[in-house]
Homo-oligomer: A and B are copies of this chain.
Amino acid sequence: MFTAEQKKAGVTYPKGFLAAGVKAGIKKSGNLDVAMIYTPKEAAVAGTFTQNAVAAAPVYASKRVVKTGTAHAIVANAGCANACTGEQGEKDAAAMQSLAASALGCTAEDVIVASTGVIGVNLPMDKMEAGIAQAAKSLSSSGSVDAGNAIITTDTYSKCGATAVNIGGKEVRFGFIAKGSGMIQPNMATMLCFITTDLAIAPALLQKALSEVVPVTFNMISIDGDMSTNDMCIVLANGEAGNAIIDEENDDYALLKQTLKSICEELAKKIASDGEGATKFLTVHVSGTKSFEDAKTIAMSVAKSPLVKTAFFGEDPNWGRVICAVGYAGVPMDPEKTVVKFGGVPVYAHGVGAEADEEKLRSVMEAHDIVIDIDMGDGAEEATVWTCDFSYEYVKINGEYHT
C-alpha cells in the first residue's frame, strides 16, 4: 500500500504537518510515551469515539474539540489512560490541552487529547508538563516514527503509513499512526488512530465520511466485546494540498471516502493480526443474508467464540464450533441452506459435514492467514470481520499483567 519512505513519513507525509514522540517517564518501561502532531494551518477535524458508557476524560475533552470543526494539534500519551479518574481526570485532560496550546500558540479548544494505559490512576502531571514542552520543541517533519512508538502499549509494532491520491487535479496526501488493541489489551483494548491529510474539505463532510467508514472497518474487528474506555479515531485535514475545497458530496468526496476506507481497513486488519499472543489472522466473511447487520451479527458471533478461536490456535478444522456459533448468533437461519468453507475448502454444506480434501484442509489450517466463508443462502448482503486466534500467550499476557 505504501513505500518504506512513506511509512517513515507517516503523519508528516501530508504538507504542513509536524510530529514528535518523547520520553516523559509515564510508561514504566521508560520508552517513548508522549506523542504530538501539529499543523500551523488550521485543520478541519473529525473524530469517532468509544461508545463505552465509562469513557475516559480525554474522550469528553476531544469530543468538544471535534464539535468546533477545527483543530491544530493532537497530544497523546501511553502508560496511563486517565479513565475512572473523576474530576481530577477532567482537570488533567484540560491541562494537557492548555499546556500544548501555550507551547504551540493556539487555543486549548484546538487541541485533541488522547490517553491509553492503566485505568483508575491519575496522570503524573509534572511528567506530562515536561513531556508536552519537550514534544513541542521536538516537532519536525521526521517525527512520525517517534510519535507512532509513543502511543503503542502491548502492540508488537507501530502501525503507520502514508499514501497519496489525485483529488481535484491535485496530489493529496494522507498519513497515519495507530495503536492496536492487541486482541484485548491489558490497558483496556484501546484503539487510537490519528490520520492527517492536506486535503481541503468542510469539517461536516470530513466527519460524515469518517462516520461512515469506521463502522465497516475499525468496528469490524472483534475485540471480544471489550470496548475500551479510551478508543478514538481522529482525522485532521489542513487544506495545504490546494484542491478546491470539498463542500458537497461530489466525486472528490467519493474518492476521499474510498481512500479513508482503504486506510482504515488496512489498519483494522493490522490491529487484528497483531492481537495479543495471536498466531493466526482470521477473516470471517458472511454472505447470503438479508442485511449487513445480520451478516455482521453472525460474523461477530463466530469471531468472538473462544471455542472457535482456540480451535484455530490448535489448527483443528472444527467446523462444528463454527456452525454452532452461527446457530446461536440470534439471526434466523436454515442449516439446509448454509455452506461453510475454510480457505475455500467446503467443510459444512446443507445441514451436514462436507467431504473435505483432508490434505488441502491441513495446509489451510497450517497457514497464518485463514479465511472462514459462511454463506447463509438467504439474501444478497454480506459482512467481513477480522480477528485472531486465542493462545496460551493471550492468557499469560492478560493473567500475569497486574494493576
User: Could you list which residues of chain A lie within 8 angstroms of chain B, going by C-beta atoms?
Assistant: 51-55, 81, 83-86, 88, 118-121, 184, 186, 188-189, 224-229, 301, 304-307, 310-311, 313-314, 316-321, 323-329, 331-333, 335, 348, 350-353, 390-392, 394-396, 398-403
Cβ–Cβ contact A398 & B306, under 8 A = yes
Cβ–Cβ contact A310 & B352, under 8 A = no
Cβ–Cβ contact B305 & A226, under 8 A = yes
A398 — nearest CB in chain B belongs to which residue? B310
Where chain A touches its partner, the secondary structure class is loop
Chain B: minimal CB distance from A1 (Å):
31
Cβ–Cβ contact A188 & B320, under 8 A = yes
CA distance A325 to B401 in the complex (A): 18
CA distance A281 to B227 in the complex (A): 24
A325 — nearest CB in chain B belongs to which residue? B226
Cβ–Cβ contact B399 & A391, under 8 A = yes
A-B contact pairs, 9 of them (CB 8 A): A53-B332, A53-B333, A54-B335, A120-B319, A188-B324, A229-B327, A306-B398, A310-B395, A314-B402
CA distance A326 to B120 in the complex (A): 15
Cβ–Cβ contact A229 & B314, under 8 A = no
Residues in chain B near residue A229, CB distance under 8 A: 324, 327
CA distance A189 to B224 in the complex (A): 19
Cβ–Cβ contact B51 & A328, under 8 A = yes
Residues in chain B near residue A335, CB distance under 8 A: 53-54, 84
Known: A53-B335, A310-B398. 16 other contacts (CB 8 A): A53-B326, A53-B328, A54-B327, A54-B335, A120-B320, A188-B324, A225-B325, A225-B328, A226-B321, A228-B324, A229-B327, A314-B400, A314-B401, A391-B395, A392-B392, A392-B396
CA distance A229 to B54 in the complex (A): 35
Chain B: minimal CB distance from A277 (Å):
9
Residues in chain B near residue A392, CB distance under 8 A: 392, 395-396, 399
CA distance A185 to B390 in the complex (A): 16
Cβ–Cβ contact A307 & B224, under 8 A = yes
Residues in chain B near residue A321, CB distance under 8 A: 119, 188, 226
A402 — nearest CB in chain B belongs to which residue? B316
Cβ–Cβ contact A399 & B313, under 8 A = yes
Cβ–Cβ contact B399 & A224, under 8 A = no
A395-B310, A402-B316 known; A86 vs B348 contact (CB < 8 Å): no
Q: Which of B52, B85, B86, B333 contacts A324 (CB 8 A)?
A: B52
A52-B327, A84-B323, A401-B316 known; A306 vs B396 contact (CB < 8 Å): no
CA distance A396 to B396 in the complex (A): 12
Residues in chain B near residue A301, CB distance under 8 A: 225
Cβ–Cβ contact A184 & B306, under 8 A = yes
Cβ–Cβ contact A86 & B352, under 8 A = yes
